[in-house]
A = this chain, B = another copy of it.
Amino acid sequence: MSEPASHELSGPISDPVSLAEHPEIVMIELLFYAYRDFVSDPDAVLATFDFGRAHHRVVHFVSRHPGMPVADLLDILKITKQSLGRVLKQLIDTGYIEQVPGPVDRRQRLLYPTAKGRALSLRLTEPQARRVQAAFAGLSAEERRGAEHFLRMMIDAEERDKVTKLIGR
């Protein structure tokens, strides 16, 4: 009667989830840590302006794809129009983004950066580009291809072609 009941109400477990069971955890965690620091770069800059990460994404993708309709932006960000709404309005009100009625389909509001918006986008890209450059510095051509290919394959299969077109290669 001194045996601990097997149906005991829980209790702490000491053996860690190990890489032996799931070697993929290395990449899972590296991706977490890398992204954590990767997005921290622009945050410092954004604090200066009164913007957050959401503004960053909008300014970035609009600057990369000037004249894109709202729907396309939503599809990239995978958020709702209501979520985009507030952020976009702020960017328009403060003169970073402009809307132009679609010349062919006049229901559309095509999004363009202003000079100010493009400049902000580039300023936010700068530290991230430096980080990427530094990360690539020690890699062979094949290793670089590996890094790029890995990230591509981490994207949902149905999204890959779209992303390739968006990025432009």
A residues touching B (Cβ–Cβ < 8 Å)?
9-19, 22, 24-38, 40, 57, 63-67, 78, 95, 98, 100, 112-118, 121-122, 125, 128-140, 142-156, 159, 163, 166-169
Contact = CB atoms under 8 A, between A and B. Distances in A.
Given A10-B115, A19-B167, A31-B38, 18 more contacts: A11-B114, A12-B112, A16-B64, A16-B65, A17-B121, A17-B125, A22-B125, A24-B125, A24-B129, A27-B132, A30-B155, A31-B151, A36-B78, A131-B154, A135-B154, A138-B153, A140-B142, A144-B150
Contact of A139 (B66, B98, B150): B150
Contact of A17 (B12, B18, B118): B118
B148 A145 contact: no
A62 to B, nearest CB: 10
Chain A's interface: helix, strand, loop or mixed, by majority?
A: helix
A142 B144 CA distance: 9
